[in-house]
Structure 1
């Protein structure tokens, strides 16, 4: 009964579209076209009915629809790089086909960047969207042999990072927490292993990764910059396979196959890193270091019939990083053997109900938990500093195929947040006092509708409208500050207590989305877009590179949600039968309630973070250009990005201004970025890849002078982020040796040899200041990867 009410609610406003469609009795031939080996959807595949010469192309999910009267038909399925397949079909009822195409082993001219139709970059309405297939990601030279999805994104225009080994990535002037990272619809709050050296995604289970940095569909929300949508491949439904690899950093093992043929199939893959022995080979100061991680990814698919499909995706990861000795100055605790533990547990159950040829309903239950712990075992100062983010969500999405030129999507979502900012637990004989910060709780509700409409053969629209709101709930002690004085500890004008479940604050609003495509000529198009995004949860840290142990905070009565408005305009052109792609996009983005911090802010165990947080305006603008070659023995792309990001934090009070209220560059502002990657594949058994990257150094705050007080040198700082570290540049190289795919063997194997930072450039991660009387200087450069890093990886599949 509940399902029928939900369906009627989502369909109610669509009656004007659906009623005229009931006048026809024509059936529809529908289905999916996928790769035979991986189960990955094939976008842009041609579906051609030979009897009446009608045809169409599959969408990004491999789905197709062709209205046909009852009868027998011969249907041809084809795509460049795959063996053509022809099937005889009898159409006398609703028919859903699952078509699998095998790769053509003699084909060498493959798309390097995205697995889409050859001219989809010109024809699609949205802009600023790039899809990377895992096959092409694996050919990009990898650091220490670890195929890294997040690191591969840094070769795309508009994507940067504050430095090597830093967690997360920055997109079009946004901070790392402004990217919504989804693994089969599950949001992840940490995307890195070992404090940013490697990403958390096992390449053996990933089907593809899609980055939305410009045109963001109305179905997405909750972050202010981008959406990274990573899909897990479908489990093998015909036979059992075993695959894995052995590398210098980690080893991988995966298994997949059918439990019930064609109905129930499973996939499980793990990646384990045990690197303690490497530190034993180093100097004595590093021999007590531990740096280990593991992750486990599972997927179960159950399809009892053509109308119902149920999938479960599970993910678990954990990192352990231990230093032999250090000092935690922020806690005023001198300690040795500090240990950092952080882990993610997440899962999603998705039910896809293919109602009819026009309607498809997908309902998903999502659970994601991220925990961190910093601990010290010293008996007198022993403690455990803990934090946790818990995300529980239910969402339902309805797709309506009104006709060939008109598709509509609508849906609703409810998120339940529970955040433990910090909890300090002393050891059994410790002098440390316990501290427990109150848990933050809130609901985030959202509903959306989107209409994809081909107005004419040359003009297409994508109209979207999303509404979202955050409802903060108790138990909570709510503080109110007077606007007549700056926010400081102890200056709250009033404090009120709210009981469990009581809604004490709400914020929200509409988020319009618009994209327009105009085809100038065959192979040429101009696109324009606008979207608004609201972000209610932020990662607060006063370090340039946010650590995985940094705390998360919800918007509330004292911290407003971040609101981003972005306008973009682009020109796209393909030449030489889609062998060459040219694109140029310009964008302008404004931020409301952009976050920054007071000088000397201390956020760890801070019960009043609003007294150290500052909010103001932000603006980002830029130009992104790309030239890509898709066919031939040599393939690759070159991209250049010019981008700027500025913040303005002004206030009536001097204590709450930065740079006197004037605009200043954000920590991740990098005006110039040049990326080039090339792959040479003369045969099916060998490929060689190169990539080069250059970018302007990020901003830093340098002292304008120094003073000597009681014999101690003290730096004097005036303005924030007015200087820069040296520019960054690096060259990488890799070779892939594979078996001939035309020769079937029981065991398939490949070898990957890679060199990271070929010419051993010592790129600066940061510049810090400390007086050294032996050298009579204050400035020092820290380089994370200042040498050549070769690696060798063996991959296998049974």
Structure 2
């Protein structure tokens, strides 16, 4: 807390010192944005150089620049690798705003992959285990059912996996799905999937770029123990209006953007709508009443007050409705009501950016995020609604200080207000179900950080940071005390203490050091090393392999300790002289304290005191990630191989609080071997072909070891958890894209995308289950989610 108060005072003092207005009347600011001419995407790292005054700056991640010069007429040059340079005569008599568009420098397709960063950034950057993908490259990856998917594309990166096709969430370097912090313009996304995991909630028409921090997590981020997925919504065009969209098999898209006040206020609105009920009308009889619909709307408003102050608002709303025709997928008609899943997300982010001068930048952000889920059944005798929701409100501020070209410092403070309704069961009008309402969970998470990035010399750079975070859990709450020497159960409660609203009854926190080092071996070669400590105070409580939307969330308390991850990384990075090829190899080792698992037969929904069902222990993950990438030529793409292991040890003091008798066992998502290959062939500017192939080891499962017969009923007997595996997984995807000739400038632009998912129709196992009967021990069955090839055709347009 003292560290946090110190940083707050430091920020106040710094702000009051540097925010003084300039007394010079002869110096003015030239500001604006640099964007790519076709997609209007901001370009980071563009060099803006005024030859007359020998002054220069580079654009930030949003393409913004600001440079101060005396009044006069200058030749301003804008240049970046992969784009045609532009030199503009600009007369400055007052504060001047100018937007600049750069065109791709394809040079007859000698270089067809244009990035928004320097081509050798993977070698020169300090951080390790950070991958960035532009939306342009994501759109070239073959899509399932024609839906360009931001999250699914990450599965082609090393170190990223999932428990199965269509499963929500990602497993990154030995972390569970809830250990990933997913952000859309700083707002957290608690469920990043549509249709129970088949598609992601991110509209590709609204996304600018995607950055995955799986190894090196900057001190500005915290709250999760595995990774940060940072998704940025693109900036709206403030020069002209345009309409874009697409029509596909699963969903249709429509977006509009343009200036409300030219060069001052602009807006972006992108929407998707999927009404897929008609697809099931032609399917099997028992699936014809299935519903699988969703919609989402992403908006962004940007207001440029002046050359120093910018206000940005990002909003997102999304909703899903998923209902199976009956609770049984058997071919025999049964008298059972169907279960309906409704879940929705509502987020808003307001950001004030203050470009104080060429060296100081202050950004203050207010975030509101709300996620709610409802599971309901209409059966009159047993009708119910099972509801849960999470509300997070956050206020944070970040100050950046550019000491010089080789030295930059950044710091910030953050306050998060959590409000969680774990579960409430609401019966129908004439239902026999009894109501259950679990108490509201509330807490504040306070954090402060500071980091220093220093290029010591041409061969050595360091990024060092320190973050402090603390969770203050508050009432109203009821906390049990359990009898000593026996397991925590409802029958072993010694006493109960009640805390009133607003009373802080539990604190947890500590420091989180971050360090990254880069050593340059030779031109185009570097070695990097890193260390991170991450703390997680909010946890998803589920005992299913793939978490359903109804999975409850819980805050740390006296019995659910924060998960703490310590990760060490070491990597070798190399580029060829022309940056045509990139080669990287990283090894990592991670230790996880207070990893969460559950007791055998745990009942987690509607459990008032989940500590009686949960277990915490130690986790260990290690692996090797290799990748080779080709950036130029008619053929581009990458190939990666990952070796990764994740183990848990739950060894409590009592037999009931152990898993596998306290021995080490693999986690549900442990997949030792993964191979990914992605290739794009672009022989002309109007046509490209994309292929991707993926292979991975089957995930662990628990199979019955023996059987017992109790009163004529066969009962399976399980010994050890996660000691068997489902069959290995592999799949090939293909797509073709036809575009208009970019040389012919037309108001109406369109493209066609034809894709085939799972080309050779492999029936990959999602799970293996057993049917027990009195005559045979088991009948093993394999469940395949996508057991055939899925062709699709999508039409995209923009005008």
User: Normalising to structure 1: TM-score of the pair?
Assistant: 0.94
Which residue in 1 is equivalent to 2:296?
295
Tell whether 2:697 aligns with 1:696. Answer: yes
Instruction: Find the counterpart in structure 2 of residue 331 from structure 1.
Output: none
Q: 2:307, 2:65 → 1: CA distance?
A: 15
Task: Report the secondary structure of 2:137's partner residue.
Answer: helix
Q: 3-state SS of the aligned residue for 1:606?
A: coil
**In 2 relative to 1, CA 549–384 (structure 1 residues): closer, same or farther, beyond 3 Å?**
same
Write the distance in 2 (CA, Å) between the matches of 1:660 and 1:371.
Answer: 38
Alpha-carbon deviation of 1:479?
1.6
Q: Distance in 1 between matches of 2:104 and 2:578?
A: 21
CA displacement at 1:131 relative to structure 2: 0.9
8 Å Cα contact 2:109/2:685 also seen in 1:
yes
1:16 offset after TM fit, Å?
12
CA 1:242 to 1:629, structure 2 compared with 1: closer, same or farther past 3 Å? same
Alignment of 1:176-215 (within 5 A): 176-215=177-216
Query: SS of 2:10's equivalent?
Result: helix
Alpha-carbon distance change, 13 to 665 in structure 1, aligned in 2, over 3 angstroms: farther
Q: CA deviation at 1:35?
A: 2.2
Structure 2 unpaired stretches of 5+: 1-5, 330-334
> Match of 1:362?
363
The 5-angstrom pairing of residues 115-134 of structure 1 reads: 115-134=116-135
1:321 is aligned to 322
**1:409 is aligned to 2:410:** yes
Deviation sequence 1:67-87 (CA, Å, 0-9, x none): 878875423212233232112
Is 1:341 the equivalent of 2:354? no
In structure 1, the partner of 2:278 is 277
In structure 1, distance between residues paired with 2:157 and 2:310: 34
How far has the Cα of 1:60 moved from its partner?
4.1
Comparing 86-95 with 258-267, greater Cα deviation is found at 86-95
What's the counterpart of residue 770 of structure 2?
769
Matches within 5 A, 1:588-599: 588-599=589-600
Is the 2:18–2:356 contact (alpha carbons within 8 Å) kept by the matching residues of 1?
A: no
User: Is 1:253 the equivalent of 2:254?
Assistant: yes
Matched, 1:641 2:642: yes
Mapped pair 1:501 → 2:489:
no
**Contact (CA 8 Å) 1:115, 1:132: kept in 2 or not?**
no
Would the aligned equivalents of 1:335 and 1:376 in 2 still touch at CA under 8 Å?
A: no
* Helix, strand or coil at the partner of 1:43: coil
Q: Are the equivalent residues in 2 in contact too, given 1:467–1:511 (CA < 8 A)?
A: yes
Is 1:575 equivalent to 2:570 in the alignment?
no
User: Would you say 1:727 and 2:694 are equivalent positions?
Assistant: no
Deviates more, 1:772-781 or 1:419-428: 772-781
Within a 5 Å distance, the mapping from 1:387-786 to structure 2 comes to 387-771=388-772, 777-786=778-787
Partner of 2:332: none
TM-score in terms of structure 2 length: 0.94
Q: In the alignment, which residue of structure 2 is the partner of 1:793?
A: 794
Aligned ranges for residues 32-51 of structure 1 at < 5 Å? 32-51=33-52
Contact 2:112 2:633 in 1 (8 A): no
What do residues 253-291 of structure 1 show as CA deviations (whole Å, max 9, x unaligned)? 111111111111111111001111111101110111111
Cα distance in 2 between the residues matched to 1:636 and 1:619: 32
Q: Which moved more, 1:785-794 or 1:40-49?
A: 40-49
Partner secondary structure for residue 279 of structure 1: helix
**Separation in structure 2 between the aligned mates of residue 659 and residue 617 of structure 1, nearest angstrom:** 14
Deviation at 1:522, TM superposition (A): 1.1
CA contact 1:531–1:567 (8 Å) conserved in 2: yes
What SS does the corresponding residue of 1:135 show, helix, strand or coil? Answer: helix
Query: For residues 613 and 788 of structure 1, what CA distance do their matches in structure 2 show?
Result: 40
Counterpart-to-counterpart distance in 1, 2:720 and 2:638: 39
Change (3 A) 1:101 1:521: same
**Is the CA contact 1:113–1:132 (under 8 Å) kept in the aligned structure 2?**
no
Distance 1:404 1:94 in 2: 25
State the alpha-carbon separation in 1 of the partners of residues 744 and 18 from structure 2.
52
Equivalent residue number for residue 100 of structure 2: 99
For residue 9 of structure 1, give the secondary structure of its aligned residue in structure 2: helix
Contact in 2 for aligned 1:290/1:320 (Cα 8 Å): yes
Maintained 8 Å contact 2:638/2:677: yes
Contact 1:167 1:548 in 2 (8 A): no
Distance 2:635 2:232 in 1: 28
- 2:67–2:358: 8 Å Cα contact kept in structure 1? no
Question: How far apart are the structure 1 equivalents of 2:98 and 2:666?
Answer: 54
Counterpart secondary structure, 2:196 = helix
| CA separation of 1:793 and 1:575: change in aligned 2, threshold 3 A | same
Match of 1:642, SS state, is: strand
Tell me the CA shift for residue 93 of structure 1. Answer: 8.6
3-state SS of paired residue (1:154): helix
Q: Is the 8 A contact 2:255 2:271 kept in 1?
A: yes
Report if the CA contact (8 A) 2:104-2:114 is conserved.
no
Q: Distance in 2 between matches of 1:797 and 1:344?
A: 28
Output the CA distance in 2 between the equivalents of 1:713 and 1:433: 31
Instruction: Give the C-alpha shift of residue 792 in structure 1.
Output: 0.4
TM-superposed deviation, 1:32 = 4.6
Distance 1:649 1:285, change over 3 A: same
Give the corresponding residue for 2:237: 236
CA distance in structure 1 between the aligned counterparts of 2:235 and 2:689, rounded to whole angstroms: 29
Specify every segment of 5 or more residues in structure 1 that has no aligned partner in the other structure, as ranges: 329-333
Work out the number of aligned pairs and report it: 787
Deviations 1:193-240 (A, max 9, x none): 010001011111111111111111110000111111111111111111
Say if 2:248 and 2:794, in contact at 8 Å, map to a contact too: yes
Residues 714 and 772 of structure 1, relative CA distance in 2, 3 Å threshold: closer
Rounded to whole Å, the distance in 2 between the matches of 1:764 and 1:783 is 5
Residues 641/36 of structure 1: CA separation in 2 closer, same or farther (3 Å cut): same
Contact 1:83 1:104 (C-alpha < 8 Å) held by counterparts: yes
* 1:458/1:447 CA distance change after superposition, 3 Å: same
Matched position secondary structure for 1:513? strand
How much does 1:47 deviate? Answer: 3.3
